[in-house]
Each structure stands twice: as C-alpha cells, then as structure tokens.
Amino acid sequence: MAESSASLPFAGRTVIVTGGGSGIGQAIATLFGARGARVGILDLASADATVQAIAGAGGTAVHVQCDVSKQDDVSRAFAELQGRFGPLDILVNSAGVAHVGTVEQTTEADLDRIYAVNVKGVYNCLRLGVMAMKARGGVILNVASVAATAGIADRFAYSMSKGAVLTMTLSVARDYIHQKIRCNCISPARVHTPFVDGFLAKNYPGREAEMFDQLAKTQPIGRMGKPSEIAELALFLCSDAASFITGSDYPIDGGFLTLKM
C-alpha cells in the first residue's frame, strides 16, 4: 500500500540542509527524508550515515561536499542539487562551528573562523536560496542559538555569530515577504550532540559524566535537548501548517531563557 500524503507531507519537495552530516543538521535532514522530501546535504565532512539512514527509510538523499564559507562552493552545490532534484523548496541553514572564550581569549584567527562559517556561510546559502526561490516562493529556516539573545559566559565569538544569524533572518523575512519566501530561525539551548561529548572528553577527561550533568542542569527542565526534538520543530516551521509564520525566532531551550532562577 502506498504511503498517504499525510505521512509524506514533503513528497516532491526539494530540501537542502547544510551541516547535515551530524548533530542537529543530521536529525533535520533525516526527518525530512522520512517525510518524503528529496534531501540535499551540504557538509564539508562525510554525510554517509545521514544518506544511508534516509535511504534505509525509503527516502532520497545525496551528499555534496561543500565549504559553506566559499561562495563558489555553495553555487556549485546548489546548482548540482537542483539539477538532480528540481527547484529548491526549503533551505535549512544548520552548518556551524563553536568556540569557547571571552573577548580577551578570542584570537583574530578564532573570530575569522567563526565568522567564516557561522555568518558568511549562512549569508552565502541565504543568497543562493533566495535567488532560487524568489520566482516561486519557498521556506528558509536558520539555526541560531539562545546565545543570540542571552549573555552566556565564555561564548563571545559564538554569540556574535548567532546574533548575526537572528538578524539576517529578520532581514530576509522582511525583504522577500512579497516573493512568498518565509524565513524563520530556531534557537536551541544545549543539545546532546557529538560536539558536547567531544568537548567534555577534551576539557574534562575522567569527569565527563559529572560535567555533563552540570551542563544539563543549566536548563530548568533538567536535561539537554535531543537532536530529534529540534528536528520536529524545524519540520513544523517548514511545513504548510506554519504558512502564517515568518520573521520569527523560536527558542527551544527547556526554559533556559524564561525560567532561569
């Protein structure tokens, strides 16, 4: 028996997810694939696991290696994916890198690295995404962070970059509302991804479990988020059910921004 349109609401739609090789981006790409979308994954690293997970669920996905900080790379990748899957319907900007440090601890090289991926990379993809969508409409979702609107210790460069993601979201939503392009962003707090495990292993060897518990408890709900939970919100905001939503930032943070004691 064929899948119903209700179970495959994104059937026939072309979706590009940056940073879809791991973490939040992987969860988003996998969920779109499970809901019928043709998923193009842009990632500098391997995305074999994501492509295989989507294919294993009966979906369609392809990985194009791409450095989002390089506009020529992004142009090539967008052209390749649209040539294969058809015109772009949905763009999710999830690619990003992290940095820990105050302004004094942030070197010029650190700042340039964060800017190149988290700001310029999002700009590059927004530019190509808008160019692809403006004749027929579409949906753009950017992954920002609670660090965009809250003062978080030792996150100077990262917070700067996510603040830029938030304001770029508002600009695109305003500038292209009459071209029927919706643009929103989501702002996760701490989510349990491979980055978290790697950070703890590097900085707190032998104390990983203790420090994980401390980080989890910084959120009033008492735990970190799951990538799959972030993906569910992303899917909704890119769906027809969210057709009245644009220019909005959605915290998904276990109460971090509003319930802190």
Residues tagged active-site: 158
Cα–Cα distance for residue pair 178/41, rounded to 1 Å: 28
The residue type found at 64 is V
Residue 204 makes CB contacts below 8 A (sequence gap 6+) with: 210, 211
- The pair of three-digit structure tokens given for residue 185, joined into one six-digit string: 């962003």
Supply the DSSP symbol for 231. H
Is residue 14 within 8 Å of 86, Cβ to Cβ?
A: yes
Kindly give the pairing relationship between strand 138-143 and strand 60-65: unpaired
Helices 23-34 + 227-237 axis angle, to 10: 50
Give the list of residues 6+ apart from residue 72 with CB closer than 8 angstroms, or none. none
Whole-Å CA distances, 65 to 31, 166, 201: 20, 26, 28
Cβ atoms within 10 Å, residue 229: 16
For residue 244, how far is the Cα from the chain centroid? 21
Residue of 242, 181, 229 whose CA lies nearest to 31: 229
Q: Residues 141, 234: contact at Cβ < 8 Å?
A: yes
